[in-house]
Amino acid sequence: MARHAGVSTTAVSKVLRNAYGASPQMQTKVRAAIEELGYRPSAAARGLRGQTYTIGVMLPEIRNPFFADVLDGVTEHLNGTDYQLLMAQCCNDVAGEARLTDAMIDRSMDGLILIAPISSRRHLQAVARTVPTVVVGRHGHSADYDTVTDDDFAGAGLVVAHLAELGHRHIAHIEHLEKDPVRLVEMPNAQRADGYRHAMNAHGLADGINVVSTTYTQEGGYLGARQLLSRDVRPTAIFAGADIVAMGVFDALSEAGLSAPADISLAGYDNTTFAAFGPISLTTVDQAGHQMGGNAARLLLDRIADRARPTAQVKLSPTLVARRTTAPPSSQGRS
């Protein structure tokens, strides 16, 4: 290739990287040869010395549209740069996450964006010390990685305020069961549950606090709702910790011959496309996933440029999206 252009490989390398020390005529000569031979530099070989121009994104679940929003934000920010985004879905267990981060490091990626990781803090730190890393959707400072989060505590408060304003006093919450002490502080689900309790107290609704612990899945929502519906005192509103959980609640409601908001008000969290869908029209909280992704990408590129820069914590504010599944409590709902 270099021979074809009649120059040295160094020259080619320089032109490719727009590095210092390449005359205009050299540039044209090399570019012509590149064009002619359809030459493409091997990112793999390049990675042995310099950068691979590859950024890895780890996502826990591809089906959750919220993560797709985040991804769009990342993609958009990276458009026009030389970086290529490669993502991998992860398996929802700590060992799998470690395997995946290792795999990305082995492939000498230039930077990693970890979305809602469940790994130990210790592992995240180790990863971040090896390769520039941004953690999305997990609270907690670190000197090694930047973070982008949504203010989940405040978001839960928005939901409670909305329902309280409609006149609900007995507002139940379905949370994702969390036992690990670190994650209990850092995971969004825990923050939402805390925010719920705090807001209930703040609105003088301490008596209406009612939490069911399941998982952030449709199944979890279904089981949680069944539990709530079977209790002596039935809540007039349910705040599901995620839209996907609300889907499960819908299932349980229709099974019980109930509907929202006629019999019970229902709110979710994430503003997924599912929530926005007309026939559903779920009241929910918008996390601005797009912005989160954009911020993550920006922070990552900044860190790649300067690894010594102090870490940043970006916290975005959620907004309530009131739709048709929430309404004032029906009289029969009170008990």
Partner DNA sequence: ATGAAAGCGCTAACAA
Partner DNA sequence: TTGTTAGCGCTTTCAT
> Using CB under 8 A as the criterion, which residues of the chain lie in contact with a second copy when the complex forms?
40-45, 47-48, 52, 54, 56, 62-63, 65, 68, 71, 75, 84-89, 100, 102-103, 105-108, 247, 250-251, 254, 273-274, 277-280
> Among residue numbers 49 through 78, which ones bind DNA (CB under 7 A)?
49-50
How far, in Å, CA of 200 to CA of 161, rounded? 8
Identify what 50 binds: DNA, a second copy, none; CB under 5 to 8 Å per kind: DNA
Residue 128: both structure tokens together: 């971040």
Residue 273 binding partner per list a second copy, DNA, none, with a CB distance cut-off of 5 to 8 Å that depends on partner kind: a second copy
Closest of 113, 134, 128, 110 to residue 59, by C-alpha = 113
4 is a contact residue toward DNA (CB under 7 A): no
- Report the partner that residue 19 touches, choosing among a second copy, DNA, none (CB closer than 5 to 8 A by kind): DNA
From the CB of 128, what's the least distance to a second copy, in Å? 16
Answer with the entry of DNA, a second copy, none that 125 interacts with (C-beta below 5 to 8 A by kind).
none
Task: Give min distance, CB of 68 to a second copy, in A.
Answer: 5
23 binds DNA (CB under 7 A): yes
- Identify what 7 binds: a second copy, DNA, none; CB under 5 to 8 Å per kind: DNA
- Segment 25 to 44, residues that bind DNA, using CB under 7 A: 25-26, 39-42
310 CB-contact burial (10 Å; exposed 0-12 / middle 13-18 / buried 19+): exposed
In the bound complex, what is the minimum distance in angstroms from residue 72's beta carbon to a second copy? 9
Measured from the CB atom, the residue of 50 and 204 that comes closer to DNA is 50
Binding of DNA by 332 (CB under 7 A):
no
Instruction: Of 110, 140, 108, 109, give the one whose Cα is nearest residue 124.
Output: 140
Confirm if 240 and 189 have CB atoms less than 8 A apart: no
Which span sits near DNA by CB under 7 A: 45-53, 67-75, 121-129, 264-272?
45-53
The answer, yes or no, to whether the previous bond of 188 is cis (omega within 30 of 0) is no
Radius of gyration in angstroms for the set of CA atoms belonging to the chain, rounded to a whole number:
25
Which H helix or E strand runs over 285?
A: strand 284-286
Among residues 163, 137, 168, the alpha carbon closest in space to that of 57 is found at 137
Burial of 45 (C-beta count, 10 Å sphere; 0-12/13-18/19+): exposed
16 vs 314, which CB is nearer to DNA? 16
Report which DSSP code applies to 311. Answer: P
Residue closer to DNA (CB basis): 3 or 63: 3
- Cα 215 from chain centroid? 17
H/E element, 148:
strand 146-150
Q: Residue 67: what are its φ and ψ, rounded to 5°?
A: -65, -30
**Residues binding DNA: number (CB under 7 A):** 28
Show Cβ contacts of residue 105 under 8 Å, excluding neighbours closer than 6 positions. 112, 127, 130, 131
Q: Which does 54 bind (CB under 5 to 8 A by kind): a second copy, DNA, none?
A: a second copy
Binding positions for DNA, rule: CB under 7 A: 1, 6-14, 16-17, 19-23, 25-26, 39-42, 45-46, 48-50
